[in-house]
Structure formats: C-alpha cells, structure tokens
Amino acid sequence: MIEPGPCMWDLPNPALAEPGIDLVGIGADLNPSTLLQAYRSGLFPMDVETGVLGWWSPDPRGVLPLDALRISRSLRSATRHYEVTINRAFAEVIAACAKLPRPSGWITEPFINAYCALHSMGWAHSVETWYHGELVGGLYGVQIGGLFAGESMFHLKRDASKVALCTLVDALDDSESDRLLDVQWRTDHLASLGAVAISRQQYLTRLGRALNLAPRLS
C-alpha cells in the first residue's frame, strides 16, 4: 500500500459532534490523503448537493458483525451459480454502482476518480460476482488495518451482490474479534443480512481497535 502523505485539511472530529446528527462537516477535497484521514477518523464523504462535499459520521452507525451474517437457504444455493473474484474489476464495479437509480446518487465522476486512485494505491478494494463471464454484481470499499468501510454494492442478477458480501465476510473473518465491517447506515435490507446499529461513540471506540490490526485483503 502506498501512503499518500499527511492530510492538508483539519477535518471535523466526530467525537465532538452533536449526538444524532449525521452530517458533521462540509468542504475539503477527495484527495487520497484526505480520504484516508477521514476514514481513520470515523468519517466518510458524500455530497450534500451537487458539488458540495459533506463529511458524515452517522449516529447510530451501521455495522455488520462478521459472525452475524445471515445466509438464507436460497442465498447459499445462489453461491454455487456464480464465480466471485476480488480486485479484478474495481473500475467496472464502482461504475456499475454509480448507475444505480436512487434519489441522491453520490457516486459522481470525481468520486469514481478518487476511489480508483485509492484502489491503485492499495487502499480500496472490490469484490466481483460473475455469471458466465459477465459482471452481474459486486461491492467496493476502503480497507485500513482491520476496518473495511463498505461504500456501495450493485446487482444485475438475483442475490449477486449478496454473494459478493458473503465472499467479503469470508475474506475478512478470522480470529481477530476487533475487525470492523462498516456499512454506514443500518437499512432494512442490510438488517436482513445481519447488520446492527451502534452509537457513534461505540463505533469510534471499535474503530480505534480495528485500525491496529493487519489488513486481510491484498
């Protein structure tokens, strides 16, 4: 992994943010040094509006315990029908995530370029799901030590993104109980897979421990 150097910005400290407020700062940039400092501090970027960069620290925060992933019978069956790879098609995965129809699509061209730069430096990773050679699902995120900060996932065939998530959990899971899979917010969909909500302070405490671990993905 290539360390880009120190961050030039004084990013907000989420530990000092008002409880229950998710947006804790506005401004700065998407340079690799800024992004890494943000994730190490418990922040992640998402535009507040077009061209206005926000820094978020949800309270509560969604996390997926590695020993709590719920694999249904149909999902277990689906894993046999797909090929899954890691870091084979990062740019294609983030581009597919950007195309998803959603009320506030934040994966703009600057975000794509920023995370592709992180990937080239060894910090951002993707998991890809293939069906007969076609990319049909996947996810991407940022890994720092024992933290994997999930950013987005997509699927074109049933359960394809869930299969990618299963592979990610398998790759991350080991005897180190302090590893942390961050999913930002606990949505109904993620809750059905085992995600839980914890307070911001709990997240920051766990983050501190996770950052001291060695990364699992390469």
Q: Is residue 30 part of a domain?
A: no
pLDDT of residue 100: 84
Q: 95: domain range?
A: 61-196
Q: Is residue 105 part of a domain?
A: yes
Q: Is residue 23 part of a domain?
A: no
Q: Is residue 48 part of a domain?
A: no
Q: Is residue 83 part of a domain?
A: yes
Q: Is residue 125 part of a domain?
A: yes
Tens of pLDDT along the chain (218 residues) come to: 999 999 999 999 999 999 999 999 999 999 999 999 999 999 999 999 878 999 999 999 999 999 999 888 888 888 889 999 999 999 999 999 999 876 667 899 999 999 999 999 999 999 999 999 999 999 999 999 999 999 999 999 999 999 999 999 999 988 778 999 999 999 999 999 999 999 999 999 999 999 999 999 98
- Total domains in the fold of the chain: 1
CATH number at residue 174: 3.40.630.70
Q: Is residue 215 part of a domain?
A: no
Q: What is the DSSP secondary-structure string of the chain?
A: -------SS----GGGSPTT--EEEE-----HHHHHHHHHHT-EEEEEETTEEEEE--SSEEE--TT-----HHHHHHGGG-EEEESS-HHHHHHHHHTS--TT----HHHHHHHHHHHHTTSEEEEEEEETTEEEEEEEEEEETTEEEEEEEEESSTTHHHHHHHHHHHHH-SS-TT-EEEEES--HHHHHTT-EEE-HHHHHHHHHHHTTSPPS--
Q: Is residue 42 part of a domain?
A: no
pTM exceeds 0.85 for this model:
yes
pLDDT of residue 106: 81
